[in-house]
A = this chain, B = another copy of it.
Amino acid sequence: MKVLKTHKTFEGLTQFWSHESQETKTEMKFSTFIPQGKVEGCIIWLSGLTCTEENFITKAGAQKYLAENNLMVIAPDTSPRGLNLPGEHDAYDFGSGAGFYVDATTADYKTNYRMYSYIVNELYGIIQNHFKIAKISIMGHSMGGHGALVIGLRESDKFKSVSAFSPIVNPTQAPWGQKAFQGYLGADQTAWKPYDACELLKIGKKHAHKILIHQGTKDEFLLNGQLLTPNWVETCQKQGQEQEVVFAEDYDHSYYFIATFIEAHIKHHARFLK
């Protein structure tokens, strides 16, 4: 584990790291913020399409609230890097920068695109063993909101709480999800369902605590059918999953929106991590 950069921030440390990943068989990078003093828990942040480990930690303005709540954050990159797999760099919504938090099974991708196991096992282990933090929660944005919901529902014992900004809640029914799942998991759509938050609810997966979502009403990807937020609300109600979706009037899909509401999410996780 190598520290690439350190910047003192709100009395704590913003840092950039790299390590050799056993899951992806590549060098992986992540950023952290570690507040000064006792750290009571860690939130994993999963970023959206095209992002790296840098977007959240520079743009969300989270450090202030993490410091106030004695919480650490860890924000991994969104895919393996440094490979040159067939089609990997051709589009913004597949391959590099678009790992979709699945363990790929297609021939070209199955060796390296193991982002589900990377987050749930390898990064989780790093938080517990390297950073010595026992209690872990998860949140994310867009593709990373999808990742947070799927991981939170499937691994509900490992993650104390779950939240998302503008998540892709039903990717098997939306163009981004369909394209990615076809490429990473193949044509058999039954293999897609374990990576779809709404489908997981339908087979009885649940998280013990309320799942918080913020969703801007002027989000272009809500309006063009990529996010499908109403499907989440409806399925949660049917299946008895406690949830709160805040529809934030006139907000869009950007980090300006995330910065506006990040304090609410950090406080939400603090309730369960402390």
A residues within 8 Å of B by Cβ? 7-11, 14, 58-59, 61, 63-64, 216, 218, 250-252, 254-257, 259-260
Contact = CB atoms under 8 A, between A and B. Distances in A.
Nearest to A62: B61
A8 B58 CA distance: 19
13 contacts: A7-B252, A8-B216, A8-B218, A8-B250, A8-B251, A8-B252, A8-B256, A9-B257, A10-B260, A14-B256, A58-B59, A58-B255, A61-B61
A7 B61 contact: no
Contacts of A257: 7-9
Number of copies: 2
A257 B218 CA distance: 32
Contacts of A14: 256
A9 B259 contact: yes
A256 B9 contact: yes
Contacts of A259: 9-10, 61, 63-64
A9 B256 CA distance: 5
Nearest to A260: B10
Contacts of A260: 8-11, 63
Contact of A256 (B7, B216, B254): B7
A72 to B, nearest CB: 16
A9 B261 CA distance: 9
Contacts of A10: 259-260
A212 B257 CA distance: 30
A255 B9 CA distance: 9
Contacts of A216: 8
Nearest to A253: B7
A63 B8 contact: no
A64 to B, nearest CB: 7
- Of all A-B residue pairs in the complex, the 10 with the closest CB atoms, nearest first, are A61-B61, A7-B256, A9-B256, A8-B250, A8-B251, A7-B254, A10-B260, A14-B256, A58-B59, A9-B260
A259 B12 CA distance: 13
Contacts of A59: 58-59
A251 B59 CA distance: 19
Contacts of A11: 260
Contacts of A255: 58
B61 A64 contact: yes
A189 to B, nearest CB: 36
Given A8-B216, A8-B260, A61-B259, 10 more contacts: A7-B252, A7-B256, A8-B218, A8-B251, A8-B252, A9-B259, A11-B260, A58-B58, A59-B59, A61-B61
